[in-house]
Chains A and B, each alone.
Chain A
Amino acid sequence: MTPEKPTFFEKIQNVDKRILYLILIVLTTIPLFPMFSSIVLPNEPAPHSQAFYYQLMSVPEGKTVFIQSDWTLSTRGENAGHIESLLRTVMSKKLKFAIYTVADPQAPGVYRKYIQSVNAERKRAGMKEYKQWEDYVDLSYFPNAEGTLNAIGSDVRKIFNKRVKDPASGKDRLVFESPVLKDVVKVGDVGLYVVITASNSFDRTVERLSDKTKVVVMCTGVIGPSTLPFFQSGQIKGASIGLKGAVDVEYMMKYGLNYPDSTGKIKVPWSGKEELKADPVVEGMTIARGSLYFMSFHAAIALLILAVTVGNIGMFMARRKKA
């Protein structure tokens, strides 16, 4: 007895996954072409992104920011946008920063690359480049996250007890003699503590440092929901989650938060917190990598929704026909 030929509805609930993969490749690649790259999609930043941007823009000028950069290039689709928008904002506000990692030995090579690229961008635009020792210090890799973060909370000067090169004298000097860290006696003295991560390293940071300093997180979309209980309870002050989070930050860098434009219209309102304002970033790039990838992101999500819908329609109709 020959098997029955599958009906149309049975076919659409069992589409070969290679066809789905091909459609995904085409749909996510097309928006990356130059003709589409200048399109900026309208956006409504999420409340946790708004809180993140507000905290970042509230840091007084000249203060030091600690950046714990725990990601590698495997998650650059999301985290590259995060670090670039963070560095652009920090540099435009003339904040100093100390950057390090407690998660992966590959991470220092990655963040150095992005500091160099943002510096090169500023140089091309005629803006001041950030220099090691004067404007930032690179503290590199600490293998044991729990012990290091405990020690940062207890005695930051002891755990960051290392020497870096002072370009002026050419000698290695203690990092706490640099203009970046000379006013930091305890971790509570920093203006903000930013964790950029693709793993659960922010969990360890929140456990040990959330009551000692203001912690904000920039993380991938997968672990984003894990940050929300901490955001709700106030243990972290803001979160930029996934590619959408990177786009939110870029959007607010361009339009500000509760900030009226030249016509008096507020492009990014923060409902219920109209009194909390943050200015847009005045120098350097704002809309950048995150927004470039956003159309591809839309295409991928739309395909996902379509695939799930088509599969369910096929299942229902096939069942009805059989009944």
Chain B
Amino acid sequence: MQWHDTGSFGMIFVIVLVAFILFNIYRAETKKKELYIRRIPGLNAIDDAIGRATEMGKPVLMVPGIGGLNAISVQALNIFAQVSKAAAQFGTPIRLCVADAAVFTVAQEVIRDVYQQQGLSEKFDPDSVRFVTDRQFAFAAGVSGLILREKVAAAFFLGEFFAESLIFAETANSIGAIQVAGSTEKSQTPFFIAACDYVLIGDEFYAASAYLTRQPILVGSLVGQDWCKILIAACVLFGFMVNSYQRTQTTSLQRMPWSEAEPEAWAQLTPEEQGNFEAVEVMKDTGTPTLVKKENTGLYRVFNPMRDRESLTVTREKKAVVAPLGGGE
């Protein structure tokens, strides 16, 4: 028997996380003193990388991954806008290769705006932003060819990468380019770490735009994320302590589906009723004390409340039956 329906706990928790983020955005906008962000080596290296490319007279390569126009690509383009700003100031040529037509359109606008805002519109080369192809390995082949032909001095791989990540990283490494990489795909992080000079791990990628621009909204959002992480860590610790204690206790009560606990009563239901009540669970006394299982702990029940028959009994009026559509051919 579940006395209180805790099924909304997960949703309320997420709303609290959202509130933390929004509160800190407000806090950053209104506070006079800048909020602190720790040093991220990969992002500090951007200016060095561009300086090196300028000395060598070679271009800077930027690749925002192969995903479509989503939050990750937008974030990558935000970072590349900062890189392009520095490159424009030094007069370093850039190459931005994209694998999605929608991202290509946005990237062209972003980079053109960067040059315009620096007062260097005439220096913007439309060919510097290239749509190669939207096929993964054709894109990998195209970008690798560009790296080898143009001998890029600095390469930035930031965004949604999959199997082609190592192809880019090793090819750029083979010509001695300095590389800064970061992917939200944690499976690709080890490949970048093996082949690249600087790697943004996990949500350092999302922190990058806040770090580079120091816009209050972005910094506040980052601090809000940190509050969320602290809350999650506290929940993990609390859950670990509570569960560790409870799992060492013994009980003869087991939580199980009604169909297993009372098969005779279940068999007497109509198929429609069985369909309605298949989520019903009861606590059955097995008579044999055993260690408390995961499904019987209080915390499990918070996220997976037991449903009883009453809560799943729903009576609604029916509307007039609609005649089935004929053929459709």
Contacts and interface: CB of A to CB of B under 8 A. Distances in A.
A315 B188 CA distance: 27
Interface residues of A, number: 13
Interface residues of B, number: 11
Interface in A216-257: 222-223, 225-226, 234
Given A74-B136, A172-B329, A226 B163 contact: no
Given A172-B329, A185-B275, 16 more contacts: A74-B136, A74-B137, A74-B163, A75-B163, A171-B329, A198-B163, A199-B162, A200-B185, A200-B187, A222-B163, A222-B187, A222-B188, A223-B187, A225-B187, A226-B186, A234-B294
Contact of A226 (B187, B275, B294, B329): B187
B261 to A, nearest CB: 20
Nearest to B162: A199
Contact residues of A: prevailing secondary structure: loop
Interface in B135-181: 136-137, 162-163
Interface string B115-143: 00000000000000000000011000000
20 contacts: A74-B136, A74-B137, A74-B163, A75-B163, A171-B329, A172-B329, A185-B275, A198-B162, A198-B163, A199-B162, A200-B185, A200-B187, A222-B163, A222-B187, A222-B188, A223-B187, A225-B187, A226-B186, A226-B187, A234-B294
Contacts of B329: 171-172
Contacts of B162: 198-199
Contacts of B186: 226
Contacts of A172: 329
Interface in A116-157: none
Contacts of B185: 200
Interface in B265-284: 275
A187 B275 CA distance: 13
Nearest to B160: A200
**List of 8 A-B pairs having minimum Cβ-Cβ separation, nearest first:** A223-B187, A222-B187, A226-B187, A199-B162, A74-B137, A200-B185, A226-B186, A222-B163
A226 B188 CA distance: 11
Nearest to B165: A222
Nearest to B170: A17
Interface in B195-223: none
A226 B275 CA distance: 34
Contacts of B136: 74
